[in-house]
Amino acid sequence: MRGKMSIHAIYLEVGEKKTFACSLQWPGWCRSAKTETEAVQALVDTAPRYRSIAQRAGFTFEPGTPAIVERVPGDATTSFGAPAIIVAADRQPSDAATAERGVALLRAAWEIMDEVSAAAQPTLRKGPRGGGRERDEITRHVIEVERVYAHKIGVRQKPFTSDDLIARSALHEEIADVLSKPSDGSALTAGNGWPAAYALRRITWHVIDHIWEIEDRQL
């Protein structure tokens, strides 16, 4: 008798110009393309790259066959290039074990980002139109965006430079502390705050996206 096929729950965020396919089980694993089919394939194609993050966090990575469990309309941010929509699964309660697993993956992404940045040349290969940030600009961008994202979960720090490792570490520890707690699925701050599951996915995705950008643009 054959064993059950492992199912990998994903959702699609469909914008006018881009569609994101995002894992609901592996925070930060999101890829985009022009069509739904291409986005799902892009996600599948990057499984070996995400595996290094999962393994760094101490997890066995066998995602299984992707199954679309939710499809949501995107917005201008989706088309610009970021997964921007809070989905129904993000509103569900999560226990401490789930939260801690997600934070372990985020910490792994932070570690790998530091290693990839340190090993990369300062000058990166330009895009097809001659654009693209250099290595140090990317690392600064990631930190600046994390400060903005942190506001969505109630974490606020004064601005600091990218080489202030103490301040950066403090920011990361505050983010990790908030996201490692059980959640009832509600927004972590009033107004336009984010639920923990979405915050974890968006923050981790942003780090991973730029890890892969630096790797792909090595001269």
Q: Is the separation of the CB atoms in 161 and 171 below 8 Å?
A: no
Give Cα 203 to chain centroid, integer Å.
5
| In 27-172, beta strands by DSSP E | 30-33, 65-73
Q: How far is CA 83 from CA 58, 74, 79, 185, 212, in A?
A: 26, 8, 9, 18, 16
Domain that holds residue 25: 7-85
Is 1 within a domain? no
- Give residue 113's identity as a one-letter amino acid code: M
- Give residue 164's identity as a one-letter amino acid code: D
- Summarised one tens digit per residue, pLDDT across range 56-93 is 999 999 999 999 999 999 999 999 999 999 999 999 99
Name which of 149, 211, 216, 137 is nearest 178 in CA terms.
Answer: 149
Average pLDDT value for residue range 101-105: 98
Is 2 within a domain? no
- pLDDT at position 127 over 90: no
Last residue of a domain, one of 85, 104, 125: 85
Say yes or no: 40 and 104 in one domain. Answer: no
Say yes or no: 68 and 120 in one domain. Answer: no
Supply the pLDDT for residue 161: 79
Average pLDDT value for residue range 32-37: 98
Is 212 within a domain? yes
Q: Which H helix or E strand runs over 13?
A: strand 7-14
Supply the pLDDT for residue 158: 85
- Could you give phi then psi for residue 191, rounded to 5 degrees? 75, -120
Neighbours of 130 (CB within 10 A): 6
CA angle 102, 104, 106 (to 5 degrees): 70
Average pLDDT value for residue range 35-39: 98
**Where does the pLDDT of residue 129 fall: very low under 50, low under 70, confident under 90, or very high at 90 and above?**
low
CA angle 144, 140, 76 (to 5 degrees): 55
Q: Which H helix or E strand runs over 5?
A: none
Please tell me the distance from the alpha carbon of residue 174 to that of residue 72, in angstroms, as a whole number: 31
Say yes or no: 51 and 147 in one domain. Answer: no
- pLDDT at position 35 over 60: yes
Exposed, middle or buried, 42 (CB in 10 Å: 0-12/13-18/19+)? middle
Instruction: Look at the chain and count its residues.
Output: 219
Distance in angstroms between the alpha carbons of the first and the last residue of the chain: 51
**Where does the pLDDT of residue 160 fall: very low under 50, low under 70, confident under 90, or very high at 90 and above?**
confident
Average pLDDT value for residue range 180-192: 94
Say yes or no: 99 and 190 in one domain. Answer: yes
- CATH number of the domain that residue 144 is part of: 1.20.120
Last residue of a domain, one of 85, 101, 117: 85
Say yes or no: 114 and 128 in one domain. Answer: yes
Supply the pLDDT for residue 5: 59
Q: How many structural domains comprise the chain?
A: 2
**Where does the pLDDT of residue 6 fall: very low under 50, low under 70, confident under 90, or very high at 90 and above?**
confident
- pLDDT at position 216 over 90: yes
- pLDDT at position 200 over 80: yes
Please tell me the distance from the alpha carbon of residue 25 to that of residue 23, in angstroms, as a whole number: 5
Say yes or no: 204 and 101 in one domain. Answer: yes
Supply the pLDDT for residue 2: 43
